[in-house]
Structure 1
Amino acid sequence: MTDSQDHFDVLIVGAGMSGIDAAYHLSRTLPDMRFAMLDSKDSFGGTWHTHRFPGIRSDSDLYTFGFEWKPWTGVPIATADEILRYLDEALDENDLRRHIRFGQTVRAARWNSGTNLWTVTVERGVETVTLTCRFLWMCSGYYRHTQGYQPDWPGMGDFTGQIVHPQHWPQDLDHTGKRVVVIGSGATAATLIPAMAETAAHVTMLQRSPTYYYPRPKRDELATTLQALDIPQDWVHEIMRRKFLQDGKTMVRRSREEPQAVAAELIGAAQAYLGPDYDVATHFTPSYRPWRQRVAMVPDGDLFVAIRSGQASVVTDTIKRITATGIELDSGQVLEADIIVTATGLTLSALGDVAFQVDGAPVDLTQSWTHRGVMLTGLPNLAMVFGYLRTSWTMRADLVSDYVCRLLAHMQDRGAASVTPALRDTDRDMPVRPWIDPENFNAGYILRALDVMPRQGDRQPWLMTQDYFDDRITLPAANLEDGTLVYR
């Protein structure tokens, strides 16, 4: 007999943005369901708890990255501390904190069709415990929190200074007066460099190839106007949310239809900040069209300001080896350094690296087909959250939360104990497409992990669209009795 304290209707894995959003929707839509949130860390926040590097901030506006149900009242681009305060308020205001169990690492989950239950193996410090649930909701994010991506360059063991990955930042690291080389040019590097440059002797951004940046004011003129008019905060939030969504939609459309014009605008903005004599052709002119990789937000152009001031600089080259005192490049140039920061990206994780079994058989996620980017064939009573790459993550988490709660209510209504996506006969000839189409989005962290991710097809409901404006129509209207969901 399962102890009632260890059995739940729904287990939510993760207490970051997605997990808190799922818990809110579940508590409001199906208040009689018993649920818990499990998180491996000692506090809530997910990404915003894991990353502690200098200057850490959002790379999306908080009107869309924040929750639909809790207005954001600060500046659009927020610091990690501001986001954590926002989440802290969301937990208290909605009585969700009591559902979180911290220090709980989910290692395995076994489905039994005889009992219609998941048995979940959880590491809790030095002990291992098991929990059971009827439905498993994976809100663990898309990358491995315990291991960032760091290439193994020759000579790394010879370096006499410190080599640090932003995902594992030592809280006692003092970079004051130090020579710092940041390897990488993505959103993390763009955040780190101006923050470290304030007190470092000098910061060098070493990039293999350039990235697109979008400098924009930290404060939004429309938001400032609306706040001054004393309009209710939920109105301001909704207006600004729609504004940023429309701005993003226009940018993505233009990047596809007129990529040269958009590239010229972004490169021109960099030139305007850096001055007419700066070599943007070498350092800020990417080889790909805009939005095939993420365009990094630069509030008030702070990265460019640090470079123009001389506090920071950019080198575009490749690494030959790490030396005792710095980095030797393939061009022969040597960058002297006291601290090397490897802002080289994330390691994608398929469903939190949990080992799944169904009726005793291990599940190979690469052989599963996605069902609306929410469920997977071969996995009963399981939903996942994987957000957008061009729109704020939370926009999709919100849609998924609504969908999953509607599905759970539908199961109750029809007396179903389980639901599993399954291909119809007419779907079996679908071409296998990768989880994310590289022709659409080709960031390194995505390409490195396509071989461990599930597959998608060429028609609904077997698509992972990455398109909010499509999902916001198709997910709420999705037919739960279209023959692709098998109820038992």
Structure 2
Amino acid sequence: MEMEHFDVLVVGAGISGIGAGYYLQTRSPGRTYAIFEGREAIGGTWDLFRYPGVRSDSDMYTLGFSFRPWRQAKAIADGPAILDYLRETARFYGIDRRIRFGRQVKRASWDSGSSRWTVDYERGAERAPERVTCNFLHMCAGYYNYAQGYRPPFPGEESFGGPIVHPQHWPEDLDYAGKRVVVIGSGATAVTLVPAMAERAAHVTMLQRSPTYVVSRPAEDGFANRLRTLLPAKLAYDIARWRNVLFQMWFFNLARKRPEKTKAALLGLVRQQLGADYDVATHFTPTYNPWDQRLCLVPDADLFEALKAGTASVVTDRIETFTRAGVKLTSGRALDADIIVTATGLDVQLTGGLEVIVDGVPVDLAQSFSYKGMMYSGVPN
């Protein structure tokens, strides 16, 4: 039986893979392609993550596809809305018909003699080994390990009396209503979880080792929504998209050129939200300059609103040990908890853990030079 061959094999059916499918169809309609997806669903990140309040911290005019206008009122959209957008886009352009689910790509071997990749993958729950060939291999598998998040061990965690949950694998049946919750971390996931869980929990504490810059902006983009009432949808979308892109570029460059001024402005906005009596210096003032690390975005100031309402709080300290009742800190303070959420980040993984071989020689991509995040030195397309 002859091995199946594609001009282009796309790996991953998330936002990047769907975008790749669109451009292959429209700009290279004569080429054959398929999208291999290891899971059984479209959406990547937006199907995988199911924790309370999951959302994008980028506006949908810049995160969304340039060819498919975002039409909803909220620019800072929640996960289910983004997933619907991806599904609808794939369905509208027929990209969903090119997706083969349950294909876990494991190895790609390049042969210079035939100018082809031989791609080994496992199919279905049985993980049956199969193989295809392609001329171009387009990896759209994301930058982290889908099987597990980054989860550092904590002293004494086996003694804790309640559940310990990582957001990447949120239990559908987790009931946190009326419970005391400690969320470990202060990144994008933590600042999303805290206000969302505070709506039903008895109290939510965000426990951080060090602060992060947190910026609030309206969930709805009034300018973009107004444009949609005046202009055709695609034109309005393009204008809003470029406006936001240029603003972000301007703000980033300002932060790099005038870090102290930018820092003072960001902290001033936090003080406006929380009031003069709140200890912004301890809980919201990082030791680094803006954009040395990512800023965290909170739509409609929801994190600050939860803090002001008393349904949530921030503690800046270090963990000494977990106890049966919660967490003991190095300061001696104890935090009681019924549930602990470890919002400790992602397990970074290049190309979905793909093994790459070029003319029989294994390649360590971490030791190669990456060109514009697209190509690797010594590795053909």
TM-score (norm 1): 0.76
Q: Distance in 2 between matches of 1:103 and 1:271?
A: 49
Which deviations, in whole Å up to 9, do the C-alpha atoms of 1:10-68 show, x marking residues without a partner? 11000111101111000111112111111111101111011110000001000010000
Residue by residue, what CA displacement relative to the aligned partner does 1:285-329 show, whole Å, maximum 9, x if unpaired? Answer: 111000111111111100000011000000000011111121110
SS at match of 1:199: coil
Are 1:28 and 2:65 an aligned pair? no
Q: Secondary structure at the match of 1:31?
A: coil
- Quote the residue 2:263 is aligned against: 263
Map of 1:189-204 to 2, 5 A cutoff? 189-204=190-205
Q: Secondary structure at the match of 1:91?
A: helix
- Counterpart of 1:42 (choices 40, 43, 58) is 40
Letter in 2 for 1:98: R
Identity, in percent, stands at 52
**What is the distance in 1 between the residues matched to 2:361 and 2:225?**
57
Q: Name the SS of the counterpart of 2:206 in structure 1.
A: strand
Q: Does 1:339 align with 2:339?
A: yes
Structure 1 runs (4+) deviating above 4 angstroms are none
- What is the SS of the residue equivalent to 1:141? coil
Correspondence list, 1:332-371, <5 A: 332-371=332-371
Q: Structure 2 matches for 1:109-188, cutoff 5 A? A: 109-124=108-123, 125-126=125-126, 127-188=128-189
1:340-364 deviation per Cα after TM superposition (whole angstroms, max 9, x unaligned): 1111111111111111111221111
CA RMSD of aligned residues (A): 1.1
Distance 1:364 1:263 in 2: 39
Give the Cα separation in 2 of the matches to 1:228 and 1:10. Answer: 40
1-structure distance, mates of 2:375, 2:291: 27
User: How many Å separate the matches in 1 of 2:202 and 2:323?
Assistant: 20
Distance 1:112 1:56 in 2: 43
Please name the residue that 2:218 is paired with.
217
Letter matched to residue 66 of structure 2: E
5 Å-filtered alignment, 1:246-395, equals 246-381=246-381
Length-normalised TM-score, structure 2: 0.97
Q: Please give the per-residue CA displacement for 1:69-100, whole angstroms capped at 9, x wherever unaligned.
A: 00111221001111111111111211111100
* Separation in 1, partners of 2:81, 2:372: 33
Aligned amino acid, residue 80 of structure 1: G
- SS state of the match for residue 111, structure 1? strand
The AA in structure 2 aligned to 1:303 is L
Q: Distance in 2 between matches of 1:312 and 1:136?
A: 47
Q: Which residue of 2 aligns with 1:87?
A: 86
Secondary structure at the residue paired with 1:147?
strand
Give unpaired runs (5+ residues) of structure 2. none
Flag structure 1 segments of 5+ consecutive residues without an equivalent: 382-488
Shift of 1:221: 2.2
Q: Deviations over 1:212-240 (max 9, x none)?
A: 011011122212321332x1111111111
Taking the aligned partners of 2:238 and 2:376, their CA distance within structure 1 comes to: 32
Give the secondary structure class of the aligned counterpart of 1:341.
strand
> Match of 1:351, as an amino acid?
T
Determine which structure has the larger strand proportion and give its number.
2
Q: Which has the higher contact order (CA 8 A, sep 6+)?
A: 2
1:242-263 deviation digits (Å, cap 9, x = unpaired): 1111211121111111111211
Q: Give the SS at the match of 2:182.
A: strand
